[in-house]
């Protein structure tokens, strides 16, 4: 379930509704945000199936007037080093002027009959700030089919710091709408701080 809003209490309530270690997640997020007022936020809880295990993950995105905060919390089963289940929470704080891209991909059904204002069935929000780059390389060539020379490599670099997918089927239409609200607020903030 994703929620968006603008107050610390609303954020805490959304984290509690996600039902995923709310005290741990709230403390980590509030520590990263500090005293700065919240402009917008999005809480997204995701359950995945890995072989015979069910794993939960929560992502919390927070926007302030000057920063973007992203928090991830994952749970792990015990292992040889840590025999009891445990959770890992990480937060990253990014100045808004560091954000280089906000990509919103929308999937709509029956595009030939699309009516403006109809919510998409799925949204993928991808945010880049240069912390993670994906490099796709392939051998370069020339147009001569008989050429055996080494032409090196060609490729592309893509910023891929955060990608968050919400869907009507998995998360509900309200979550899709809320993801769009957050994406718009973040896009506007990056323009204002760029």
Angle at CA of residue 139, ends 133 and 141, nearest 5°: 130
Write down the pLDDT at residue 40: 93
Domain enclosing residue 89, as ranges:
1-97+170-192
Same structural domain for residues 28 and 79?
Answer: yes
- Report strand pairing: 86-95 vs 133-139: unpaired
Same domain, yes or no: 41 and 25: yes
On whether both 141 and 176 belong to a single domain, the answer is no
Q: Indicate whether 56 and 118 sit together in one domain.
A: no
Q: 3-state class of 171 per DSSP?
A: helix
Residue 33 dihedral angles phi and psi, to the nearest 5°: -75, -40
Q: Give the C-alpha distances (Å, rounded to integers) separating 125 from 3, 167, 184.
A: 15, 11, 10
**Would you give per-residue pLDDT tens digits along the chain (194 residues)?**
344 456 788 899 989 988 889 999 999 999 999 999 999 999 998 877 777 777 788 999 999 999 999 999 998 877 788 888 889 999 999 999 999 999 999 999 999 999 999 999 999 999 999 776 667 778 888 888 888 888 888 877 665 688 999 999 988 888 888 899 999 999 999 988 76
> What pLDDT, on the 0 to 100 scale, is given for residue 3?
44
- Do 25 and 60 lie in one domain? The reply is yes
pLDDT of residue 133: 65
**Site of tokens 């973007």:** 68
Domain count, the chain: 2
Q: CA angle, corner 61, sides to 11 and 8, nearest 5?
A: 20
CA distance 117 to 108: 11
Kind of pairing, strands 122-128 and 133-139?
A: unpaired
Q: What are residue 138's DSSP bridge partners?
A: 154
pTM of the model: 0.81
The reply to whether 91 and 179 lie within a common domain is: yes
What's the confidence (pLDDT) of residue 2? 44
How far is it, in rounded angstroms, from Cα 176 to Cα 181? 9
């Amino acid at each position: 379930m994703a929620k968006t809003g603008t107050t610390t209490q609303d954020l805490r309530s959304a984290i509690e509704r996600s039902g995923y270690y709310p005290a741990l997640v709230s403390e980590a997020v509030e520590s990263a945000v500090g005293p700065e007022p919240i402009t917008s936020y999005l809480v997204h809880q995701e359950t995945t199936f890995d072989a015979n295990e069910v794993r939960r993950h929560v992502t919390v995105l927070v926007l302030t007037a000057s920063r973007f905060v992203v928090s991830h919390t994952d749970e792990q089963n015990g292992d040889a080093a840590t025999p009891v289940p445990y959770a890992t929470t990480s937060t990253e704080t990014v100045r808004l002027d560091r954000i280089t891209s906000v990509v919103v991909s929308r999937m709509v059904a029956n595009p030939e009959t699309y009516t403006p204002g109809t919510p998409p069935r799925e949204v993928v929000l991808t945010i880049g700030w240069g912390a993670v780059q994906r490099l796709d390389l392939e051998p370069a060539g020339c147009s001569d089919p008989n050429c055996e020379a080494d032409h090196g490599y060609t490729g592309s670099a893509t910023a891929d710091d955060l990608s968050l997918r919400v869907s009507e089927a998995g998360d509900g239409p309200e979550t899709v709408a809320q993801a769009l609200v957050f994406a718009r607020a973040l896009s506007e903030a990056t323009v204002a701080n760029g």
